[in-house]
Amino acid sequence: MNAYQHLRTPLERFWRALLGEKAATSLGVKINAPFMALSFLALPVIHHLKLTDKGLVDVDKFAIVPLGVDS
C-alpha cells in the first residue's frame, strides 16, 4: 500500500466536490456552492450565528434558530 494513496490530485478533488454539489442539488438545495456556505458558518469570526451539533445557534440570544419551512 502506497503511503500517499490518501492524497488526491487536484482533478480528483474537483470531481469529488462537483459530485457532492450535484447530490445536494438533487436533494433540493437551491444555492450555489452549498458546502462553501456551510463552511463559513463555523468560522470563529462570525460571532452572531454558530453551527453546532445541536443545530444553528443564535449566540446573542443563546437560542437554537428554528429551521422549519413556512408553508
pLDDT tens for 15-62 read 677 778 888 888 888 877 777 777 766 676 667 888 777 788 888 898
**Residue 3, pLDDT score:** 59
Cα separation, 38 vs 16, in Å, equals 17
pTM: predicted TM-score of the whole model, two decimal places? 0.39
Has residue 6 got a pLDDT over 70? no
Do the beta carbons of residue 59 and residue 47 sit within 8 Å?
Answer: yes
**Residue 2, pLDDT score:** 57
Domain ranges of the chain: 10-64
Helix (H, G, I), strand (E, B) or coil at 39: helix
Do the beta carbons of residue 21 and residue 33 sit within 8 Å?
Answer: yes
